[in-house]
Structures are given as C-alpha cells and as structure tokens.
Structure 1
Amino acid sequence: MTLVRWLLSLPALHDFTRTYPGQYALPGGAPVGFPAWLGWQHFFNVFLMTLIIRTGLTVRRDTRPTAFWASRKDPGRRISLTLWLHQSLDLLWLVNGAIFVILLFTTGQWMRIVPTSWEVLPNALTAALKYVSLEWPTEDGWVNYNSLQQLAYFAIVFLAAPLAALTGVRMSDVWPKRAKRLGSACPVEWARAVHFPVMLFFVGFIVVHVALVLATGALRNLNHMYGGSDEISWAGFWILVLSLAVIAAAWVAARPLVLAPVARLFGHVSGR
C-alpha cells in the first residue's frame, strides 16, 4: 500500500493517472441510472447463484445421496435430488441471463459494462492502483463505472457465465450423446476440469464485489441497485435485508423433505 502510494507520487505515473483517471466517457446517449428491471434481475441472479453454488458443492462432496429423481421418459436412469435441483436452478439461471442480455442491449444499458474504447485498459490500471493504495477511485456508479469495474462486469456476464453454462451443459444429459464431433471438440473431461474453477471465480467476484459495495458508500450503492435512486437513504438497505431473508429461507428449504413434492411434479422421486 505504501509502495503503491509512493509509485503514484512519481512524476511519470502521476502524469499517467492524470491522463487516464480511472474511467473514460461513455458513448453519447448512454443511459443514466438503473431501471427497475435491473434491480429485479440482480436480486433473482443473486438468489439463483447462491443456491446453484450451494447445490453444486453438495453434489461434489455427496457420495451417498439419500434421495433420487428420474424422468418419466427414462425412469431407469436416476440422479440425486440435489443434482436435479442444481440443474433446474441452472435452467432458470440461463433463462434469467437471456432476458438480462436482451434487456441490456435493447435499453442501452450494455454501454455500462461493454468496453467501447481501448482507453479502458490504462484506465483500469489506474483504478487498480488506486484500490490497492486504498485511495478509492473517484466515481459515480449512477452514471458510469470505473474501467476496472467495467472489465470485471464484462468478464462475468460475457465470459464466465457462458463458460459456466457450456461446461454445465456438457456434463449434463442435455448434451447430445450421438454428436461425436461435437463431443470431441468439447470433451467432458475438459468441462469437468473447468466448471469448478469457474465457480470459484464467481465466488471470488462476489466476495470482492460485496466488500467494495460496503466500503465505497454502502447506503448509496445499495440504493442504486435495490432502491432505484441516487439518493443516500436506507431504502436500498432494507430491500437488501428482505432479499437476504428470502434467500436464507430458500437455503433452508433446499432439502429432500421440501424438494421431493416439487420434484414429483416433473418425474419420479425415490429413496436410496
């Protein structure tokens, strides 16, 4: 931290950060603020991701499941009830993601998270140096993210999410088993090796994201996403508390006793 501050005081780096202050101007016509649909999408994505990560970790370590699910078309092939929930949540997450991307590009909100200039790279370096030095980048997220944020959001939406989806589909029964060329181009061993690290990337992003939201003006940041305004008030905080209560309730409910009646609507449920 002290070293970075000293480096920032050097004339060459000082001039660099003045030229590239940490963000660049968005294209003309870029929207200001966050629409209500984005707040709902954010909540639903957090809701699904939390349960997807939980069920994914459970499937990974559960060697003797207590309950199984089988489709009515193929009752002889069973999967654990937790894996059924994991894949069902994945499907909802993909639908939610598709809706998000469509709304992103039809409303102009894409300009916030898709780089439109190569200046994003030197500006991201400046933002990173300022974060490390604990001298937070001057920003107004209601109008424009800093360049490091933009690159991080772009990576999550357009790189990590598609990679998670591709590797997940490759390991599931949805993947066409007779498509040998497609299987050779995307080996299941590769999917297994990549899927878990991508999940860890999501977890790391969530941890850093939440920490920075709380450290750089919690009430205002929460009001941006949950309260739908640029004011500093407790509205966004209390909406967040309510959403966390919903997520906690779903976390507790994600067990065979509760899941079995729902799973029976889509197939057969049986014990060990």
Structure 2
Amino acid sequence: MTGFRQSRWFALVWVVPAALVLAVAVVVVARWLREMPDVAAWVAQYPGQSTLPDGAPVGIPAWVGWQHFLNSFFLLLIVRTGWQLRTQKRPTVFWTRKNDGLIRTKNPPTRLTLTSWFHLSLDAVWVLNGVVFVVLLFATGQWVRLVPTHWDVIPNAISAGLQYASLEWPVENSWVNYNALQLLTYFVTVFIAAPLAIVTGLRLSPLWSARFRRFDRIVPFAVTKKVHFWVMLWFVGFTIVHVFLVFTTGALRNLSHMYASSEDAGWLGFAIFCVSLVVMIVAWVAARPSVLKAIASLGGTVISRER
C-alpha cells in the first residue's frame, strides 16, 4: 500500500472522483440555467450557429477529408515523438546529415538523436501539409467555415457551450455549417495553435536554437518550451473531445461527411475511417528504432552507443 501511495497513479485516487463530481455539478448548473425563462429565450435567439456569409460553400470536399487524415496521421506520431523527447533520459542513437554538397553551410552538420530526427522530419511534412491545406482553404472559399465573420459567433458559442454542458447538445448540420463553438475551436487550432507549434518548435530545434539565442531576452528558452508543451496538450485535448463528439452526435453521418464527402449517413465513411485507423496503427508499430535507423541512414549517418 505504501508503494502505491508513492507512485504517480496515487493522485488518480482523488483526481478521478473530483473530476466526476465537478462534471455532475456542471451539468446540474447548466440544466438549471436553461430552465430559467430569460436564459431559454436567449438560447432561442442564439441557437448556437453563427451566420455564414452569402455564397458560402456547402459540403465538405474530398481534399478536406484527405487533409484531415494526413493531419491526424502526422500529429499522432509528432505527439508520440515529442513526448519521447520530453521524457528521454539518455539517447543511444544519433543521426548526422551527410555532407553531400546539396546543402552547404559554414557550420558543421548538427548531430541529432534519432528521435529528434524523426520528430523534425514529421514536423516538416506536417507543415507542408498545413500550407497546402491553408492555400486550398482560401482558394476554394472554405475558409468562411473556419474563420469567424460575424459578431454573433460569441453569443452563439456561449449558447452552444451551455447546450453541451446541459447534455442537450446543439443540433446542427455540419455539412452546411459548424456550430459557433466548433468554429472557434477549429479557428484556434488551425490559425493560432498550429503557428505557435511551428514557431516554438523552430526555437527549440537543435538545428535552429543557436540562431535564435538573440531572442532569449524577449522570449526565454524555458518559456518557449512551456508554450510548446501546452500547445501539444491543446492538440491532445482537442483530439479527444473531437473524437468523442464525432461518435456521440451521429457517428455515421459525421464520418460520412469527413471521409466520404457525402451528406448521406452511409457506411462508406465509417469503412474509410477504419482503414485510416489501421494505417495509423501500422505506422505506430513500425516506428521502431530498427526501422527508423534504416530510413534515417538514407540521408545521413546513424551511429549507436551503449548506455
């Protein structure tokens, strides 16, 4: 018993019950508020959806589905490698870029741990995917579904939050328009959290950290590291809530919208989603040191040392 009290899991003895009590209290208060006539009238005035501009596109095109999968795929491995970097004690495998003349710098190549190499490689393709996404977003007019364009997004977001908290969730057709709370959450994720992850990641990267030391007085390294970690927690929390709501607010319909680019609540979207899960599981299992060393050696020198 003494050993359990000293373990990191002992905190869950009181954290989990406290979280459950807090959740019940939130639901009770939200339902009480919604029974008040003034609040009920306010919710009726602001049902949870912000007004879209005239001519806003309807539907979710196929490229959004592909971007959604790629973004999920890369983020899964980025979070994994990021956590490994944070908890890694003493790395044993290192990678150094080959000086093959394609990239010439005055400074010698920086030696990276194998985990850092994989993390930065994933970051690069994730950023590239994000650039393609943003370009297509504005080129096709889909940006109006993710960027607030009317002041009523604030009261509608509060209304949607109250509806979620009362367990009488807002009913919207995501094929046409997300509810205001979804819109704000997606906006923060795409246009605030992602750029923050990129900027802080560059500052923390061994490849760039020396060049950004002049900014230490403005934004200290320790502060940047904390911001990068909290951004990671945002992505993890966003993903958990997002997946939970997808499956509890009409799984077949939601998956059909995103994965099959169809308004019908058929099984095709669910089937494609299952395939995407298999791909991510295979990638997770395959991302072992022996495989990573073979891939990393194609563009650099991999060396190992004993602990």
Q: Which amino acid aligns with 2:42?
A: F
1:80 aligns to what?
113
For the 8 Å contact 1:75–1:268, the answer to whether it is kept is no
Is residue 203 of structure 2 the alignment partner of residue 147 of structure 1? no
1-side partners of 2:66 and 2:205: how far apart?
Answer: 29
What TM-score do the two structures reach when normalised by structure 1?
A: 0.96
Residue by residue, what CA displacement relative to the aligned partner does 1:52-80 show, whole Å, maximum 9, x if unpaired? 01111111112122311112247774221
Report the 3-state secondary structure (helix = DSSP H, G, I; strand = E; otherwise coil) of the residue aligned with 1:69. strand
Structure 2 letter corresponding to 1:197: W
Does the residue aligned with 1:185 lie in a helix, a strand or coil? coil
Name the CA distance, whole Å, in 2 between partners of 1:265 and 1:65. Answer: 20
Q: Which of 32, 37, 44 is residue 6 of structure 1 equivalent to?
A: 32
| TM-score between both structures, scaled by the size of structure 2 | 0.85
1:32 match: 58
Larger radius of gyration: 2
SS at match of 1:134: coil
Question: What is the percent sequence identity of the aligned residues?
Answer: 54
1:219 maps to what in 2? 252
Cα distance in 2 for residues equivalent to 1:112 and 1:182: 36
Unaligned runs of 5+ in 2: 1-26, 100-106
CA distance in 1, matches of 2:55, 2:117: 44
Taking the aligned partners of 1:193 and 1:6, their CA distance within structure 2 comes to: 38
> 2:215 matched to 1:189?
no
Partner AA of 1:207 in structure 2: I
How big is each residue's C-alpha offset from its partner over 1:122-161, in whole Å with a ceiling of 9 and x where there is no partner? 0001000100111110200000000000000001001111
Equivalent position amino acid for 2:284 in 1: W
Aligned pairs, number:
272
Give the superposition deviation at 1:87.
Answer: 0.6
Partner in structure 2 of residue 234 of structure 1: 267
CA distance, structure 1, for counterparts of residue 209 and residue 89 of structure 2: 26
CA distance in 2, matches of 1:148, 1:164: 22
- Name the structure 2 match of 1:21: 47
Amino acid across the alignment from 2:75: M
- The alignment status of 1:56 with 2:89, answered yes or no, reads no
2:93 to 67, 78, 81: 67
Q: Which runs of 5+ in 1 are unaligned?
A: none
CA distance in 2, matches of 1:203, 1:47: 13
In the alignment, the residues of structure 2 paired with residue 150 and residue 217 of structure 1 have an alpha-carbon distance, to the nearest angstrom, of 18
Question: In 2, distance between residues paired with 1:234 and 1:76?
Answer: 50
Displacement, 1:50? 0.3
Q: What is the alpha-carbon root mean square deviation over aligned residues?
A: 1.5
2:277 to 219, 244, 259: 244
Aligned equivalents of 2:127, 2:279: Cα separation in 1: 21
Partner-residue secondary structure (3-state), 1:177? helix
Asked whether the equivalents of residues 113 and 154 of structure 1 are also in contact (C-alpha less than 8 Å), the reply is yes
Contact 1:4 1:133 survives alignment (8 Å): yes
Output one character per residue of 1:165-189: Cα deviation in whole Å (capped at 9) or x when no partner: 1110001134373565445433322
- Once the two structures are superposed, residues 243-272 of structure 1 have per-residue CA deviations (whole angstroms, 9 ceiling, x without a partner) of 111111110111111011211121110101
Residues 251 and 194 of structure 1, relative CA distance in 2, 3 Å threshold: same
Q: Show the counterpart of 2:13.
A: none
Structure 1 Cα separation of the partners of residues 62 and 218 of structure 2 = 41
Q: Which residue of 1 aligns with 2:12?
A: none
Task: Look up the match of 2:160.
Answer: 127
Q: 2:104 maps to which residue?
A: none
SS at 2:95 equivalent: strand
In structure 1, give the amino acid aligned to 2:148: P
Residues 95-174 of structure 1 mapped to structure 2, 5 A cutoff: 95-174=128-207
SS at structure 2 position matched to 1:233: coil
